[in-house]
Amino acid sequence: MGNIVAIVGRPNVGKSTFFNRLIQRREAIVDAVSGVTRDRHYGKSDWNGKKFSLIDTGGYVKGSDDIFEEEIDKQVELAIDEADAIIFMVDVESGVTPMDEEVAVLLRKVDKPVLLAVNKVDNNKRLENAVEFYSLGLGDYFPIASTNGSGTGDLLDALIEALPENQEEEESELPRFAVVGRPNAGKSSFINALIGEERYIVTDIAGTTRDSMDTRYNRFGFEFNLVDTAGIRRKSKVKENLEFYSVMRSVRAIENCDVCLVVLDATRGFDGQVQNIFWLAHRNNKGIVILVNKWDLVEKETNTMKEYEAQIRREIEPFTDVPILFISVLTKQRVFKAIETAVKVFENRSRKIKTREFNDIMLPIIEGNPPPAYKGKYVKIKFCTQLPTPYPQFAFFCNLPQYVREPYRRFLENKLRSKFDFTGVPISIFFRKK
């Protein structure tokens, strides 16, 4: 399980530029594969072979400076809670501001690594000016310029040094299911309905459940671990900014599971926030099951369910091969079916296809439908195989991998899905030089 690093600081100090610089290499690759733009405040990066997830807390605040004053405290507290290390960014042009001092007060109490990055230091005069940031009481600082990347190497070296060692979890054979979704969609109640006891007390009191808890679960002949993110800490504090909050709460659980059960409230629909969580799971190559909860509260007409499902599938194109179940946690309707489906998706995600069988099925399809010529060049695919990775990835070996376009990749993925059951599981397809 990777570490999570949060970037905090007031607006316009260059957090996003720095964030983009760190993830751009990886992002370019990720987005080229799916061709869909994603939430720009979460990404993966690596430095000297150590991978970590990066969260830019700045992108979530809209509004004026005074709204920001209280907002930033909440974000910093959230970052302190959720991240393994924090990069606090300040700006040498404006010097130490009252808001910086306020953030520093919060960060000085923390027993996690905090790295102070002084941005926009691009000449010697500014290097001298940066000295005043010692007054924040956070020890040494790192002078950087996120526009041209100077100084970021030293900062990242120190970051990697400071990150806690990844405790490799003892690999249990049991699948790990994470229950994710926006607050009040019924996650805790779903878990209660499953476990059959009020282990998660569903209340509005501050600090109901803090960490995502793992429950070893054995019923209906299934055994698995349930990773729960239901806990919402201090409701009163996060009323205004639930979107940032629930995305951030979900990151760790999603990275740490095999299958995500995305719970949404039928009366609110598959809105932007649920979509963020869905794409987060997709981008992490997790199995996905969508659970539409509170279906008992929706006014029914003859084909309401069909229409509702079609609407969701439109939103999640091109990855539409995902189970969508309509449940009611209150009446326990289809709750067991949800787990059955998750187990099935887990099996799909771990499915391995023998190379010979794979070629026997895919090569005739490719022969009948070769990649269209591009710039007068013909692509010949000679051989294909599944890669030995924890989730389904396939390599197709050909003479001109750079000429295979996105539509053909989709065509192959659709064929592959129709021949083998990968429902609920993102697939990666690579074209390699033979």
pLDDT tens, residue by residue, 32-48: 333 333 445 777 788 88
Q: Do 333 and 368 have their domain in common?
A: no
Looking at the domain assignment, is residue 168 inside a domain? no
One domain for residues 207 and 273: yes
Rounded CA separation 206/235 (Å): 6
Over range 173-183, report the average pLDDT: 83
- Give me the mean pLDDT over the 19-44 stretch: 56
Mean pLDDT for the stretch of residues 281-308: 88
Q: Is 167 a domain residue?
A: no
**Given a cut of 60, is residue 27 above it in pLDDT?**
no
Question: Does residue 170 sit within a domain?
Answer: no
Least confident residue range of 56-65, 106-115, 221-230: 56-65
Classify residue 334 by its DSSP letter. T
**Residues 180-235: tens digit of each pLDDT:** 887 778 887 887 777 765 554 444 333 333 344 566 777 667 788 877 665 444 44
The reply to whether 188 falls in a domain is yes
**Residue 387 burial class via C-beta count within 10 angstroms: exposed 0-12, middle 13-18, buried 19 and up:** exposed
In a shared domain, residues 316 and 378: no
Q: What is the mean pLDDT of residues 100-126?
A: 91
pLDDT category at 58 given cuts 50, 70, 90 is low
Same domain, 209 and 150: no
The CATH number that applies at residue 94 is 3.40.50.300
Question: How would residue 343 be classed by pLDDT, with cut points 50, 70 and 90?
Answer: very high
Residue 75 in any domain: the answer is: yes
Average pLDDT, the chain: 81
Are 252 and 304 in the same domain?
A: yes
For 304, how many CA atoms within 13 A lie in the half-sphere containing its CB? 13
Residues 328 and 364 in one domain: no
Percent of the chain with pLDDT over 90: 40
Same domain for 12 and 150, yes or no, is: yes
Q: Return the closest-CA partner of residue 386 out of 417, 353, 411.
A: 353
pLDDT at residue 298 in the model: 83
Q: Quick one: 144 and 287 in the same domain?
A: no
Say what the pLDDT of residue 159 is. Answer: 93
End position of a domain, from candidates 333, 349, 365:
349
The model's confidence at residue 357, banded by pLDDT at 50, 70 and 90, is: very high
pLDDT confidence band for 241 (50 / 70 / 90)? low
Segment 239-244 shows an average pLDDT of 53
CATH no. for residue 425?
3.30.300.20
Separation of CA 318 from chain center: 18
138 and 237 share one domain = no
Same domain, 16 and 142: yes
**Encoded tokens for 238:** 């996060």
The pLDDT-based confidence of 175 (bands split at 50, 70, 90) is confident
Q: Euclidean distance between the first and final Cα of the chain, in Å?
A: 33
Residue 171 resides in a domain: no
Max CA pair span of the chain: 72
Tokens 């951030």: give the residue: 248
Last residue of a domain, one of 349, 375, 410: 349
pLDDT bin (cut points 50, 70, 90) of residue 273 is confident
Task: Give the number of domains in the chain.
Answer: 3
323 and 205 co-located in one domain: yes
Res 333: pLDDT:
85
Asked which of 294, 324, 349 is the last residue of a domain, the reply is 349
Strands 85-91, 114-119: pairing kind: parallel
Phi-psi label, residue 156: left if phi above 0, alpha if psi -120 to 50, beta otherwise = alpha
Model pLDDT for residues 299-339, shown as the tens digit of each residue: 877 678 899 999 999 999 888 999 999 998 888 888 889 99
Asked if 264 contacts 181 with a C-beta cutoff of 8 angstroms, the reply is yes
* Average pLDDT value for residue range 234-261: 68
Q: How far apart are CA 115 and CA 135, in angstroms?
A: 14
Binding residue ranges: 9-16, 56-60, 119-122, 181-188, 228-232, 293-296
**Contact assessment for residue 92 and residue 126, using Cβ atoms and an 8 Å cutoff:** yes
Question: How far is residue 18's CA from residue 141's CA, in Å, rounded to a whole number?
Answer: 16
Note whether 63 and 189 are same-domain residues: no
Q: Which residues are annotated as a binding site for GTP?
A: 9-16, 56-60, 119-122, 181-188, 228-232, 293-296
Domain that holds residue 389: 355-433
Q: What is the pTM of this model?
A: 0.71
Q: What tokens were used for 269?
A: 């629909």
Strand segments (E) across 199-338: 213-219, 222-228, 259-265, 287-293, 324-326
Helices first, then strands: H and E counts in the chain:
13, 15
Residue 13 lies in a domain: yes
Decide: 289 and 325 in contact? Cβ < 8 Å: yes
Whether residue 303 lies inside any domain: the answer is yes
